[in-house]
Amino acid sequence: MVLKIVQSGDPVLRARARALTAQEIAGAEVQQLIELMRETMRDAPGVGLAAPQIGLPLQLAVIEDVAEVEATERTPVPFHVIINPRLVLGGEPVDFFEGCLSVDGYQAVVPRARTVHVEACDHRGEPVTIDARGWYARILQHEIDHLNGTLYIDRMRTRTFTTARNAARYLAGVSVPELLARLGETAS
């Protein structure tokens, strides 16, 4: 079963999600929710999905990435869950294109910290710490933003905002620094 992904404009995407209790995490409802979110993320397809995106203001997100792209320091990340996360940003900001299943059909360049440190609970409620860099660090920042009512459009370089279709039409083979120069933007 695949859940409906809500789109920008839905108030749930602008609310601060509430933390889950240890009891809730262990309960059947949250465990079932995790399974449904995994299926929904894979179906979309996406590399992350936060509970507010399926209409639930809860501090829970699922993440999984199978791609490998050297230019964006993107490496496969096995399926996992982050619950009640705390995020510490590190490294210098890096510019790259980003999209969101809740802002369907668009993308934009978003500066994000190159590295992050995250403390969270996993799907069993066990504490975990994650030190990530590159694309995985970007995914974590994007998903944790969702739990705080923030979308990438709040952080994007607005002049780079494009439909996915126009990105394919006009930006194939154009590097981000090239695009920023073209638009008169200063790189991070």
Residues 108-147 within binding reach of Zn ion (CB under 5 A): none
Nearer to Zn ion, 51 or 100 (CB): 100
Span of 66-74, 95-103, 122-130, 171-179 interacting with Zn ion by CB under 5 A: 95-103
Nearer to Zn ion, 100 or 121 (CB): 100
The residue with its CB nearest to Zn ion is: 100
Q: Which two tokens stand for residue 68?
A: 């490998």
- Of 39, 64, 92, 143, the active-site residue reads 143
Contact 8, 151 (CB under 8 A): yes
Span of 10-18, 59-67, 98-106, 120-128 interacting with Zn ion by CB under 5 A: 98-106
Nearer to Zn ion, 54 or 100 (CB): 100
- Residue 100 as a binder of Zn ion (CB under 5 A): the answer is yes
Coil/strand/helix, residue 53 = helix
- 119 flagged as catalytic: no
Nearer to Zn ion, 5 or 94 (CB): 5
Q: Is 133 exposed, middle or buried (0-12, 13-18, 19+ CB in 10 A)?
A: middle
For Zn ion, how many residues bind (rule: CB under 5 A)?
1
CB of 49 to Zn ion, least distance (A): 8
Query: For residue 186, what are the contacts with CB-CB under 8 A and spacing of at least 6?
Result: 180
Residue 76, phi-psi category: left (phi > 0), alpha (psi -120 to 50), beta (remainder): beta
Residue environment code for 140-175, b if the CB has 16+ CB neighbours within 10 A, otherwise e: bbbbbbbbebbbbbeebbeebebeeeebeeebeeee
Residues forming the site for Zn ion (CB under 5 A): 100
Residues catalogued as catalytic: 143
